[in-house]
Amino acid sequence: MEDLDYGRLLYLLLLLCAIGSWVFVQTRQNLSTTLQQMAIWVFIFLGVIAGYGLWDDIRQTVRPQQSVMSEAGRVTVPRSQDGHYYLTLMVNGARVEFLVDTGASEVVLSTQDARRAGFDPEKLAYLGRASTANGIVQTASVRVDELALGEIRDRNLRVSVTRGGNG
């Protein structure tokens, strides 16, 4: 700790002692009530700290999950916290998370997702171009053996791989 940190720590301790002694003097006739109220505030404080520390775990548990009902041919896609819709599909046996874009004209893989699906992005011919919200990107056309969402499967599907960006 630096000298400035020790000074701040000493200041906070003196402030705590002053406020604590004032509370104690003001409520000395009802000491048991004061201790109960202090205990309640301590538990509230600990609860807030625990909730904040566990928030990511709680959010994962409470957040709606993707569900596929193959008998009915229906897919339920919950809206994410950021307002978008995401689906996790199997591309050639690899799990890939897709952003659902109703205005997209084709399925697009990033170079990282293409690599997981068994393609070597460095060896692809980037002959196509696509207009995205981030501008024009180069694309390469590939065929995936299988694209699956639960029991719903599509085979020998043409998809594009973008060069560089996130697809």
Last residue of a domain, one of 41, 61, 81: 61
User: Considering the domain boundaries, does residue 167 fall inside one?
Assistant: no
Mark whether 79 and 51 lie in a shared domain: no
Domain that holds residue 51: 3-61
Mark whether 84 and 20 lie in a shared domain: no
Mark whether 103 and 23 lie in a shared domain: no
Last residue of a domain, one of 15, 41, 61: 61
Sign of the dihedral defined by the CA atoms of residues 51, 55, 57, 63, in that order: positive
User: Considering the domain boundaries, does residue 15 fall inside one?
Assistant: yes
Mark whether 80 and 144 lie in a shared domain: yes
User: Considering the domain boundaries, does residue 144 fall inside one?
Assistant: yes
Give the separation between CA 127 and CA 132, rounded to whole angstroms: 16
Query: pLDDT tens per residue, the chain (167 residues)?
Result: 566 678 888 888 898 888 878 877 777 777 777 778 888 988 998 888 888 888 777 776 666 666 656 566 677 787 887 888 888 999 999 999 998 888 888 899 999 999 999 999 999 999 999 888 788 899 999 999 999 988 888 999 999 999 865 54
CATH of residue 72's domain is 2.40.70.10
| 107 close to 147: Cβ distance less than 8 angstroms | yes
Neighbour tally for 150: CB within 10 Å? 13
